[in-house]
Amino acid sequence: RAATLLAFAGLLLSPVGLWLAHQIPNQPLMLIFAIVLLYVTGRIFVEAYQQSKGIFKEPKAVPCSLDLSIGRLIWTVPCARALIGSGALAGFLSGLLGVGGGFVIVPALKRISDLPMQSIVATSLGVLSLISLGGVAGSGLAGTMNWLVAIPFAFGAITGMMAGRLIAPKISSQWTQLIFAGFSGLVAIGLIMKAL
């Protein structure tokens, strides 16, 4: 249900981001994406470093708490609000920057819930699938989709995702975060170099 709510909010704002993307030149869009990515990367590295040094923040109340007896989130108005806001931001950025939004959803779910990292990743993948389908449909209907690029790229992404799912259970949560942050940082640096 959390993935559905996140995706629904994302699908509503994805077309707005897509429209805005067509109004802004490519170079500023790349810089915006790189800056957002660097911010997320920095936050993840700081959290992973603090965990490695045994520096743990006081656990604070999160809007979306996990009911351990059933393995699902406890639904409250603050939880729904947090999920809708996170999904809307992910959808908007997905349309604007042409990315799935995982770099928004993963940190957002870490901040607003007490889900374990594996559940966060699984929820993020479900949300991204739904939001991406909406983005593909919107771009396809608008005639802006380059299918000769999109289809091989999607095949590669799905293959990589399946390989990652096989490896993920063998890697600790902390290392998963560091790998994600490392790749994100490299992409951000590459985009900045390309844009300048």
b/e burial code for range 169-179 (CB count within 10 A of at least 16 → b): eeeeeeebbbb
Return the top range by mean pLDDT from 78-87, 119-128, 172-181.
78-87
Asked whether residue 55 carries a pLDDT value surpassing 80, the answer given is no
Delimit the domains of the chain by residue range.
Answer: 2-145+173-195
Distance CA(140)–CA(94), nearest Å, equals 15
Lookup: tokens for 166: 């096989």
Three-state DSSP state, 65: coil
Q: Which residue has the higher pLDDT, 161 or 81?
A: 81
**Residue 100: its pLDDT value, please?**
64
Which pTM does this prediction carry? 0.73
pLDDT at 139: 79
- Find tokens 């920095």 and name the residue: 42
Model confidence at 140: pLDDT above 80:
yes
pLDDT given at position 137 = 82
Task: Please tell me the distance from the alpha carbon of residue 185 to that of residue 196, in angstroms, as a whole number.
Answer: 17
The beta strands (E) that lie in 36-111 are given as: 66-67, 72-73
The answer to whether residue 58 scores a pLDDT higher than 70 is: no
Residue 16 vs residue 134, higher pLDDT? 16
Q: What is the pLDDT of residue 132?
A: 74
**Across the chain, how many H-helices and E-strands are there?**
7, 2
Neighbour-count burial for 34-46, b at 16+ CB within 10 Å, e otherwise: bebbbebbeebbe
